Structure formats: C-alpha cells, structure tokens
Structure 1
C-alpha cells in the first residue's frame, strides 16, 4: 500500500491526466466544445472570479446556507430520533407518516419554500434541513433501538434512573450513529443549498451557474461546477477532521 504522500501525488496526477484528456478530446473535436467547453477557459473563468472577488460573495452565501441547514437538521433529527426511539407507541403511531415524508422527493418542496420564505437564505436552509433531518433521524432512531439490553440491565442494576440512562447510555449510542452519518448529512445540506439557489435566488453558486446557463456559457457552467466540487471536498475534509477529534478509539 503506497504511503499517504505517494497516494496524494497519484491522485493529483490522475486529476491532471483527466484535464489533459478533456483538453485533447475537445481540441480534436471528439467532444463538441459547445457542450463540453474548453478546460483552459474553464480554469480561466475560475481565475477571473477569484481575482474579481465575485465568487467569494456567492461562496459565502452558499456556505451560510449549508452550515445552517446542516446544524438545524442535525438538531431536529437527533431530537426526533431520541424521542421516537424511546417512545415505541409514538413511533408506531407516526411510522406511516414518517415513511411517507421520507419517500417524498424533497426537491419538489423547493418551490413551496420559495413561496413561503422568499428568495433569501431561509428557503435554502429549509430545503437543506429537510434533506439532513431524515438522514440523522433514522441513524439516531436506529442507534437508540440497538442499545444492548445487557448494558441497560447492568446500568439499572447499578441504580441508574431514566435521566442517567439517557445521558450515559442512549445519547452516547445515538451520537456514534450521528457521527457515522456526518459525511452524508453535510452533503445533503450542501445539495439543499445549491438546489434551492438554482430554483430561485439572487446570490450563491447555484445562482451563478443558472446565470451562465441562461447565456449558454458552458465554460462558466463547468467553472461553477468545479468551484462547487472543491467547496464540497473542503466541507467533507472539515467533517473528517471533526470526526477524528470527537471520536476516540476508532481504528484506522
């Protein structure tokens, strides 16, 4: 197995090879430039956005929407998962409604949120929350339901009351499941923010891509996608670093 440094170099080499292949295929007209753009012009567009500072305004908006949707979705997902995980009657009563809401494509809620909350940040955060909530909810619900009966019995034998069981057994069990879903949750929040911007907004990376599409500027579209990809990777790296700090004892 190659070392970490060697693997990073190999990944960068693969990225460069993909850009070179893209450039060559466009130049020899195998890939139509109207549909696939020119990688050199794509990178030039990204560079121009950075120099002008325009992209940072849109990135800041998307970042705020993503973080708010992520945190609020986690809060409600953990609360609902703990409540229904500890309340079998309520879980059985609400089960068909939760499944129905989860089966609903959340993207169709985007236009409704725009009508309710307007074109500002609130509608994008609301869409992100709906995407994050169910990921976290089902993980927490499952984590609470799968607490070992032996651990519960031992804790009760030692005199633990309901609040102590909640604090020392149920919550740690649920949090381990939350951390396991962090990568998907932050991805869902990111998708909610960008899709919401795409459906209706006046600022954000999704809005930037939509403006480029309206003028058939395929290079700017790919530039926006490239910025989104780098941004998503940075968010995922942040989650990975947080996991390493908060979860102790996980094997490599």
Structure 2
C-alpha cells in the first residue's frame, strides 16, 4: 500500500525548494504548446512542453498580499500532485479560486486531484471557480465543492456574477480574462457555452480526448473549446454556518 501525505501551506510558508518542485511537476506534466495565430503572441514553441519557473509561479499564483495557498500530495515521499488557490471577497462573499491543479501522469484517476481540492477548502468559502482547458479539472472542482450533477451545471450564477468575481481577483491572469461563450454573448458562434479568452495557446489534443470520454459518460455542458480559450466553471454553495467555525490556520 502506497503512503499518501497531504499538506497545505499559506503563501508565506512556501520555500524556494517547494516552488522549484512545483515548477518541475508542472513543466513535466501539464501540457504541450499549441500553434498561436499568426498575429498573436507566442509564449513557447508549438509541440514543446509548457514550462514554468519557480519565480514565475510565485509571481503569477502567489501575488504579494493575497490570501493564496498551496496543497501538495506525496506518494511514497515523491511529489505526485499539487493545487494552488487564491481567496478574495466579492459582494461580501468569499471566493476560492483554483489557479493551478496538476497531477503527475503516473498518478491520475486515483482521486488525488479531489483530495487536493478538499484540502484547500475552508468553512467560509462560498464561491468556487476555475479556468481550465481540461475537462477533468472542471469535473474535479464540481465533484469536490459542488452540490449538483455535472451534466446540469448551474450556469445562471456565472452568467450573473462572473464579471464581478473576475474583476475582484488579485491574480492577474484571472482578472484580465475575457468572458466568452453564448452564455455571455448570445451571438457567439464558436460553440463555446461558458469560457474565457486567456490568449493561452496550449495544445488541445489531450483535453479533446478527455472531452470525448466525458461526452460518452453523460454529456459535457460547456460546449466546444476554441484555441486560446479555457472553460470557466463558477458556482456558489449556500452553506449552513456553525456558531463556532473551524480555525483559519492555513498550515
């Protein structure tokens, strides 16, 4: 039996070594660069792995002064997955946004991603969100935090509140994302229902294969994914609060 260890850290507790390990996990397991449009920016060579440095992880996912945190899972002492998240307030409610979710390719489909997300959850979290090109990330977020069938995602909340939630984010790429899909633009003809334009041209071969499997097992409500875009999952959960809430210690 493999030994799994889950740990959670506040942004101020992350060491340089931990960030270097996280950057390595991402760079070796996240995805492949796609081909950008001829008039678009190119962040990497098409067909090569999307890579990130420890310093870029800190700058992008752990902005100064933010309520950011990190959860990691090791299997037999080896890093097998991690999740970064950030919290902020929007209209008097607390948002928990998953900014990165990566599981090593040799440890997928073992509930590690769900376990990581549950480790990030606090009693005060009301609104949950993620932007991802991978259907599995959206399904995992819904499974970990939602109280609805995935085939019946409550898009009405995103339709009403996505603009304000994104605008309030301290995470730059979330704040700057442009809402796309016919949920927000009825004349949209891309086939996307609910998503964002992030100008992030990752290759969609693996996500599309996963999407085909999801469609076979019950339907995919988010529609098609244009190049440079990501799916957007945003929902709220009304919770009954206990008089005495859990400790907010991130460690």
- TM-score range relative to shorter protein: under 0.3
State TM-score, norm by structure 1. 0.20
User: Quick check: which one's strand share is greater?
Assistant: 2
Higher relative contact order (CA 8 A, sep 6+): 1
Q: TM-score, normalising length from structure 2? A: 0.20
- Where is the helix percentage greater, Structure 1 or Structure 2? 1
